Structure 1
Amino acid sequence: MSASDKPSRRLRLCFIGWGAIASRVGELLAERQPAGVAIVAVAVRDAGQVRANLPAGAQLISSPEELAGLDIDMVIEAAGRPAVAIWGEAALRHARSFAVSSASAFTDESMLGLLLSVAEEAGSRILVPSGALGDLGALAAASVLPLDQVRHSIVKPPRAWRGTKAAELVDLDTLTERTEFFAGSAREAAASFPQNANVAVITALSGIGLDRTRVVLVADPHVSRNVHEISASGAFGKLDLRLENEALKTNPKSSEMTALSLVRLIESSVATLVS
């Protein structure tokens, strides 16, 4: 077979949800136009409602059963934790991969077990994008050998914690200094703060698990970005990682990096050279 006869790589995408993160990914893909990538469907609660900035030609669907027959390669969840349970099984049966942005859903061990079983049966894969962390390849590699500890501090301006349980623990409107209002496991953090601490599950899955990964949540009036401070130690040595992410303009609880990591995941799936 000559090079010209080989089939080109393609990636037919379906997004679950078209909120701040998904629409930002759509915007970036439209600008960058990676070869072979097409958003062919968007799943929403009400397919009859008019929505702005939808990808040209994308079909609106509202039930998991509609995934059948769409010839989807990758389903990308960007609609919040409940959507993982609603769409996960159908996504794994009707697509080659299911990318889960709301990793806090995996604190539910029974649901995770079900999805893993379906993926094994269907020959599909569950992907967990690196989200606001950009890339945790170093931590994942380090976990090949025993890890002693992993700690993840999530530091955000007070406005990013509004509308969460943080408001019950600290007066977000009068803070004058950095204040830690939660310390516990990644499982506890993600369960209690699914929008803000969702990313802690990604750290846990890359390292020593949901119950051994320690998470500290912080409101700091002196920061303007969403900050992640990760430290780990073990047989590999010692790791310290700090990221300062710009918040999404349309949602201060999420980082721009969350959308960028999905763009990288998509483009890497069709790229000839992946670094």
Structure 2
Amino acid sequence: MLSQAGARKSSRTKRPLRLCFVGWGAIASRVGELLADRQPETVEIVAVAVRDADRERAGLPEGIRLISSPEEFAGLDLDMVIEAAGRPAVAIWGEAALRHAGSFVVSSTSAFTDEALLGLLLAVADETGSRILVPSGALGDLGALAAASVLPLDEVSHAIVKPPRAWSGTKAADLVDLDKLTQRTEFFSGSAREAAASFPQNANVAVITALSGIGLDRTRVVLVADPGISRNVHEISAFGAFGKLDLRFENEQLKTNPKSSEMTALSLVRLVENSVATLIR
């Protein structure tokens, strides 16, 4: 017969965390690579959800199952689904992920500017007991801002400063001549909701700041192209009853996608590792 301590130890025996990615682009493949190196025994990538499963994808781990419809989550016995495929993927895969996994990690947080979609996902999570997790993304960790928001916050601002090429292919190209900039140039100022809705690939991170602080409509965001830098920079300021906070992040660009930062992938690795760790850091 097991002793009480032995019974507790047996009940806590962990199986590998069963993980599915939505999308297998620059971020997901980088996270998969790092997890394979760091957590080969505690994390198992069992599937990747895509809309075109017949297309060849580089770097897929051997034995990974490609699925092409949300219904295929059923039966995979998933612990976590990580979305890393862009804003439309949240609406396509989110509800099913919450019904068939313990947690749904949303990287494309610009989807939360759609209040109806956010309301639906929150309702499903409440119904099923699953959780919606927002990674810290390019900001590494905003625990200080989230803690500060326990008391009233008066103001939160976030400047997103990137090299001009990181803004190519976005609305920024219609507002400034990215190829001819010679100095730091601000081309957008507005709320986090407006920034993320208009620049979903580059300003997802503004939603993370907003959710950590005073919300999508009160958080002020400035978008800047600066030919004098090579990293993606985030400058966050807040003040309120807690005092005053200033944070600055200078992130290396993801080699395969300059619109994203290496830190975006690293934050997902940390989130997954904390889900299986005994010591949470």
Shorter-chain TM-score range: over 0.9
CA contact (8 A) 1:65 1:90 kept: yes
Which amino acid is 1:176 matched to? T
Q: For residues 234 and 14 of structure 1, what CA distance do their matches in structure 2 show?
A: 40
C-alpha distance after superposition, 1:218-264 (max 9, x if no partner) = 00000100000000000000000000000000000000000000000
Letter in 1 for 2:154: D
Deviation, 1:10, is: 3.0
SS in 2 for 1:99: strand
Q: For 1:193 and 1:181, how far apart are their aligned partners in 2?
A: 12
Q: Which residue of 2 aligns with 1:11?
A: 17
The 3-state SS of whatever aligns with 1:154 is: strand
| Whole-Å separation in 2 of the counterparts to 1:269 and 1:253 | 27
Equivalent position amino acid for 1:196 in 2: N
Q: Within 1, Cα distance between the matches of 2:77 and 2:71?
A: 13
Aligned to 2:180: 174
Normalised by the length of structure 1, the TM-score is 0.98
Answer yes or no: is the 8 Å Cα contact 1:178–1:218 preserved in 2. yes
Q: Is 2:161 the counterpart of 1:158?
A: no
- 3-state SS of paired residue (2:179): coil
Where 1:70 maps in the other structure, the secondary structure is coil
Deviation at 1:34, TM superposition (A): 5.1
Equivalent of 2:131 in 125, 133, 136 = 125
* Percent identity of paired positions between Structure 1 and Structure 2: 83
Name which of 205, 208, 212 aligns with 2:214.
208
The offset of 1:33, in angstroms, is 2.2
Q: Assess if the C-alpha contact under 8 Å between 1:93 and 1:122 holds in 2.
A: yes
> In the alignment, does 2:242 pair up with 1:231?
no
Instruction: Work out the CA distance in 2 between the residues paired with 1:33 and 1:8.
Output: 14
1:191 corresponds, among 191, 197, 210, to 197
What is the 5 A alignment of 1:1-275?
A: 1=4, 2=6, 5-6=10-11, 7-33=13-39, 35-275=41-281
Residue 8 of structure 1 and its aligned partner are, at CA, apart by 1.7
Look up the equivalent residue of 1:5 and give its one-letter code: S
SS of 1:73 mapped into structure 2: strand
CA shift at 1:206, angstroms? Answer: 0.3
Deviations 1:73-124 (A, max 9, x none): 0000000000000000000000000000000000000000000000000010
SS in structure 1 opposite 2:72? Answer: helix
Shift, 1:9, TM fit:
4.8
Amino acid at match of 2:10: D
- Quote the Cα distance in structure 2 between the aligned partners of 1:213 and 1:229: 13
* Counterpart amino acid of residue 74 in structure 1: M
